[in-house]
Amino acid sequence: MNVKLAAKAGFCFGVKRALEMAERTVETSPAVSLGPLIHNQQVVKRLADRGIHVVDTLIEVTAEQALIIRSHGVAPSVYKGAEDKGIQVVDATCPFVQKAQRLAAKSAQMGQQVIVMGDKLHPEVQGILGWAGEQAIPIQTVEEAKELSFYPRLSVLAQTTQPAENFKRIVQELKLHTAELTVHDTICNATAERQKVASELAETVDVMVVVGGRNSANTQKLAIICAERTKTYLIETADELENTWFEEAKCAGLTAGASTPDWIIEEVYKKMSEMNETEMDMASWEESFQELHLGARVTGTVVKITNEEIFVDIGWKSEGVIPMNELKIARKTRPEEIVSIGNKISAVVIRVENEEGYTVLSKRKADEEGAVDRLEKLAESKEEIPAVVVEVVKGGLVVDVGMRGFVPASQIQLGYVEDLNQFLGQTLRLRVIEFDPSKRKVVLSQKIILAEEQAIKRKQLLETLKEGDVVTGVVRRIVDFGAFVDIGGMDGLLHISDMAYTRIKHPSEMVTIGDEVEVQVLKLEQQTGKLSLGLKQLKESPWVRVAEKYPVGSLVNGKVIRIVTFGAFVQLAEGVDGLVHISQLADHRVNKVEEILKIGDLVSAKVIECKPEEKRISLSIRDLMLDASQADDELALASQPEIKPVTIGDILGKGILAENREE
C-alpha cells in the first residue's frame, strides 16, 4: 500500500512555541500549565515526566511555581488572579490568538456587539469571550446566527481553528442582522493550510488517517474535512491502526493535527507502510523517511551558513538544516563562531522533513547526548568542571557543559551577587550538584568549590596567624559598625573605632568595598575563629608628641567639636582633643556650655593639665581671660604719667610764696 503524508502536518507554530517556552521555563523553575499545554495525551505525559504538571485552577498553583499559559490563551481575569497571588506567568498564548483577543477587546470598547464564532466550550473561545466582555455572544452555526436579533453595530471574529467556509457563511447571515458589520478574519493560516492540504490529499486516496488528540479541535476539523471526501479514521497513536481499514486500499493518506509531535506521526507512518506489505510501493523519499527516523544520529558536512540556519550534507536526498536555536547551548551565538563550511559535524534528527523538504537537525541535542555520560561521571566524582556562562536567566546563570547547565545565583560565589550580568562570558569553576539525565537537568555550583578552598585556607591561617601580625586584605562588606576584611581565607572585623584616631561617623569615610588594606591582627580567637583587625594601629598615635607640643601653661588654638553637659571638647590636632570644663569656660559662673560656645567655634585656651598616657588635656578659657585681664591692669598702670613725690615743705613753701605775692 502506498502511504502519502500530507505536506503540512503536525505541530503548528503556536504549539511548537508554547512547548519550547515550557521546556525553557522548567530548566530554571518549577512549572505548571493551566490546562494541558497541548491536546495530546502522549505529549502531556512526556511533559509531566519533565516536571510540568497540569493544573485546572489558580488555587492549585504556589508562588514558587511558574504558571505557563498555553497557546489557547486565557481571559484577563486569570492574569489578574496570578498577579494577586504573586505567581510568575509564562505567557505562551499563540500570537494569532492574542490578536483575536485584542480585536475582541477593542470591538467591545468601540461599542460593537461582539460575536465570536467557535466552540463556546473551547478554552480559546472562553479566553476571547473574557477579553470581549459579558455582552459577547458565541455562535458556531449558521442556524445560531439566524436566531440573533438586530444590532446597530456588529463585530465578528473566529476561533483560530474554525473552517474558513463556515465563517464565510456565518458572515453572510450576520449581514442581515446589523446595519454595520465589522469582520475580523482571525482564522489561523496554519489551520487553513493544513485543512487545504488534507482536503486535497483526501481527494486522491482510498483511505485517510488523521492522527492527533481526540479532544483537539483542529484535529477533529481535519477529520471532518477528510471524511467529507473519503473514508477517514481519527487515531491518537499507531496502536489504534487496524489492518481491516486498509484491506481494499491501494493508497492511504496521513495527516496530523497541530498538536501532534513528529515522533507519533512517524510511528503511524511506519505502521501504515507495513500494512498490506505485499503491495507496498514506496517512493524514494519515503525510503529515506524510514531510515531518517526522529532521534537518529547523523554525520554530515557543513555546506552553507546563513544568519538563521546551517545546511548540512548528510548524504541523503535532501539536505539537513540546523536552525540557530538547535546549534549550540548559547542561544545568542553567531553560527560562524561555531562551525565553518566544510566542518564535519554530528547532529540528531528532530524532524524528518519540514515544509521546505529539509531534514531538521539539532547539533545541540547531539552534543547533549555526548555530554550525558561525562556529566554522570562528574556528578559521581565531584570533579571540577570549567564552563562558560552563556546566558543570564531569572535566578541564575546558564552555562555550557555540553548541555544547558544551571547555576543558581546562590551558588555562584561566597557572598551575595548583585548583578548576574557581570558573569556573562566568564568561565566558572563548577561542580555538578544535581543531575537528572531524563529531564536534561544539570545544576552546578561554584560556591561549593570556593567554600572548600576557603575552609582549607582558614585552617592554615588559624594555625599560623598571631596577634600583632600585619596582613593585607580586601574590604568585602561595610556595615554601620565597621568593615569585614578578607585576609585570604577568613574575614576579620575592622571595627569603626579601630579605623582612625579621629572620630568618624561611618566606616565608608575610611574604606570602600574592594579596597586593599594593610591591617594589624588585634585579636584572634582560635576556638571561634573570630578575628579583630586594626587600621589605625599601624599609624603613630597623635598622643605620642602631645607632652612636648602642649605643655602646661601653653596657649593653644582649636575648634569646638563636641559639647557635653560638663564642658566642650576642642580639637587641637587630628586625634587630639582637649576638654574645657564648664567651670573653665569664662571668668564668671556659666550654667550651660552653649551660653559660651557652639560646635565649630574657634577658640584659644590655656593648657592647665596634660596627661598623654590617659589621653587627657585640660584647657581653660577662664585662665586665659584672667591672664589677659591681669595683663591689662599691668598695662594700664604702666601707662599712668609719672608723679613726683611731694613734701609738706613743698606744699607749705608754695603757700608762703603765694601769701608773699598777695602782700
CB of 272 to ligand SF4, least distance (A): 25
Q: Enumerate helices (H) and strands (E) in the chain, giving the number of each.
A: 16, 32
How many chain residues interact with ligand SF4 (CB under 6 A)? Answer: 15
| Residues 6 or more apart in contact with residue 100 via CB below 8 angstroms | 128, 157, 158, 159, 160, 184, 186
What is the distance of C-alpha 395 from the center of its chain?
Answer: 5
Residue 161 touches ligand SF4, criterion: CB under 6 A: yes
Give the bridge partners for 571, in sequence order.
559, 577
Binding to ligand SF4, residues 61-80 (CB under 6 A): 71
Residue 260 touches ligand SF4, criterion: CB under 6 A: no
Q: Which is nearer to ligand SF4, 75 or 388 (CB)?
A: 75
Catalytic residue selected from 23, 64, 124, 463 = 124
| Residues 6 or more apart in contact with residue 537 via CB below 8 angstroms | 498, 520, 522
List the grid coordinates of 624: 586665659
Give the bridge partners for 311, in sequence order.
304, 321
CB of 133 to ligand SF4, least distance (A): 22
| First and final C-alpha spacing in the chain | 180
List the grid coordinates of 355: 515544509
CB of 37 to ligand SF4, least distance (A): 11
CA atoms within 13 A on the CB side of 345: 28
Single-letter amino acid, residue 73: G
Binding mask 204-233 for ligand SF4 (x = CB under 6 A): --------------x---------------
Residue with cell 519540514: 354
What's the CA gap between 575 and 541, in Å, rounded? 8
Residue 234 host element (H or E): strand 231-235
Q: Which is nearer to ligand SF4, 195 or 273 (CB)?
A: 195
Q: Which is nearer to ligand SF4, 261 or 335 (CB)?
A: 261
Binding to ligand SF4, residues 630-659 (CB under 6 A): none
CB 294 within 8 A of CB 260: no
Q: Which is nearer to ligand SF4, 17 or 616 (CB)?
A: 17
What's the CA gap between 260 and 656, in Å, rounded? 152
Residue 97 touches ligand SF4, criterion: CB under 6 A: yes
Residue 256 touches ligand SF4, criterion: CB under 6 A: no
Q: Which is nearer to ligand SF4, 191 or 362 (CB)?
A: 191
List the grid coordinates of 474: 580586601
**Residue 124 falls in the annotated catalytic set:** yes
**Beta pairing class for 491-495 and 530-534:** parallel
Residue 160 touches ligand SF4, criterion: CB under 6 A: yes
Residue 96 touches ligand SF4, criterion: CB under 6 A: yes
Binding to ligand SF4, residues 7-36 (CB under 6 A): 12-15
| Candidates 92-100, 356-364, 428-436, 545-553; binding stretch for ligand SF4 (CB under 6 A) | 92-100
* Separation in Å, CA 177 to CA 50, 117, 138: 51, 15, 15
Binding mask 178-197 for ligand SF4 (x = CB under 6 A): ----------x-xx------
Q: Which is nearer to ligand SF4, 95 or 488 (CB)?
A: 95
Residue with cell 505525559: 45
Q: Which DSSP category does 507 fall into? A: G
CB of 13 to ligand SF4, least distance (A): 4
Q: Which is nearer to ligand SF4, 4 or 72 (CB)?
A: 72
Single-letter amino acid, residue 460: Q
| Candidates 6-14, 201-209, 288-296, 509-517; binding stretch for ligand SF4 (CB under 6 A) | 6-14
Residue 38 touches ligand SF4, criterion: CB under 6 A: no
| Residues designated catalytic | 124
Residue ranges that bind ligand SF4, judged by CB under 6 A: 12-15, 71, 94, 96-97, 160-161, 188, 190-191, 218, 258
